[in-house]
């Protein structure tokens, strides 16, 4: 018998099984999750979100595959070059494989039984809270007031999910989510849940953490899958921010050229050298030193200013920073 918590798992946790999971053992999670069947809750809003975003996510893979189909050049000067026949046959074979994968992805959209993530998700749908008119009205009011959790400006999806839980769940609750609107407003939501239902609320980022809170040990398979998902997300987020923000790039490059660890004063000097040579337009920044300190702090998980994105830097001691 486990500790009596209910567990709600956010839609994006399941969508990440599509987007980032490289492990073919996801089907094996079904047997593990069946042990906790009675503890899972869901909402009609989450159910709808999963199904519409499931198809959208699979279609994104299809679009990516379509973009990789190779044009076949067989009517120009290339056909007269040595090796063209091998090239042509290899491209035909590659295109055939790509089209085969497109067909398999398209099949998943309509044949749910072949989709291991869908099969997994069904385990969480046996106790699904309805979306009533009163719940929608309260969610709209919540959005106008500005109380968390908050969705984007055009919807109130997270508000409906939270109001559904407040209305129907009367047990201690664990929410598994990596959504900032829940994690960054934990104290507010915890207090509201306690005032409404007299129960405890905990928020974690991993299903394996929720299982531990129940008093059980998650499988190595689940921990490996979740670890790989987080790693893939972190790599992708680093690549995005590394590409979009020259300042992050510059500070990282400066520390790297200093051997990976340096005094702040050394980092200042090295950054100045880099921008003078490569990014002279950055010299218009009126407080470059403050910008450097801000980058180091926002991309350091030990800092109170951490932005929950790429964890790139580590503070060794006052005035000394390193690449993590």
Mean pLDDT of 16-42: 84
Phi, psi (rounded to 5 degrees) for 12: -65, -25
Phi, psi (rounded to 5 degrees) for 176: -100, 110
| The two structure tokens encoding residue 231 | 């790693």
Report the alpha-carbon distance of residue 229 to residue 223 in Å, rounded: 10
For residue range 137-156, list pLDDT tens digits in order: 999 999 999 999 988 777 89
Predicted local distance difference test score (pLDDT) of residue 239: 56
Rg (CA), the chain: 25
Euclidean distance between the first and the last CA atom of the chain, given in angstroms as a whole number? 41
For residue range 191-228, list pLDDT tens digits in order: 999 999 999 999 999 999 999 999 999 999 999 888 88
pLDDT value at 127 more than 90: yes
Strands 201-204 and 173-176: parallel
Q: 303 or 133: which carries more pLDDT confidence?
A: 133
Predicted local distance difference test score (pLDDT) of residue 19: 77
Supply the mean pLDDT for the chain: 89
> What is the side-by-side order of every strand in the sheet holding 261-263?
261-263, 320-323, 313-317
Residues 6 or more apart whose CB falls under 8 angstroms from that of 255 comprise 261, 262, 267, 270, 313, 321, 322, 323
Other C-beta atoms within 10 Å of 82: how many?
A: 6
């Amino acid at each position: 018998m486990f500790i009596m918590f209910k567990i709600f798992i956010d839609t994006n946790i399941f969508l990440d099984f599509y987007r980032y999971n490289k492990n073919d053992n996801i089907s094996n999670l079904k047997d593990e999750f069946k042990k906790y069947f009675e503890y899972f809750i869901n909402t009609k809003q989450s159910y709808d979100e999963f199904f519409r975003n499931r198809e959208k996510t699979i279609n994104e893979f299809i679009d990516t595959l379509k973009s990789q189909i190779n044009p076949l050049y067989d009517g120009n000067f290339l056909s007269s070059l040595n090796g063209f026949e091998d090239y042509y046959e290899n491209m035909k074979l590659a295109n055939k494989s790509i089209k085969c994968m497109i067909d398999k992805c398209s099949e998943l959209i309509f044949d749910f039984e072949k989709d291991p993530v869908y099969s997994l998700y069904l385990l969480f749908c046996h106790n699904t809270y309805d979306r009533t008119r009163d719940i929608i009205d309260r969610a709209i009011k919540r959005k106008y007031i500005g109380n968390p959790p908050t969705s984007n400006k055009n919807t109130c999806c997270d508000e409906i999910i939270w109001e559904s839980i407040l209305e129907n769940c009367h047990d201690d609750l664990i929410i598994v989510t990596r959504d900032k609107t829940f994690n960054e407003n934990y104290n507010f939501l915890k207090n509201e849940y306690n005032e409404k239902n007299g129960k405890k609320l905990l928020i974690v980022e991993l299903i394996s953490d929720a299982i531990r809170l129940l008093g059980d040990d998650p499988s190595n398979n689940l921990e490996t899958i979740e670890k790989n998902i987080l790693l893939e997300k972190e790599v992708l987020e680093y690549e995005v921010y590394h590409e979009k923000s020259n300042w992050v790039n510059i500070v990282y490059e400066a520390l790297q050229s200093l051997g990976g660890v340096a005094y702040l004063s050394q980092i200042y000097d090295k950054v100045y050298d880099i921008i003078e040579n490569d990014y002279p337009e950055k010299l218009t920044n009126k407080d470059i030193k403050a910008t450097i300190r801000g980058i180091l702090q926002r991309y350091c998980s030990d800092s109170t200013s951490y932005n929950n994105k790429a964890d790139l830097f580590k503070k060794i001691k006052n005035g000394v920073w390193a690449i993590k």
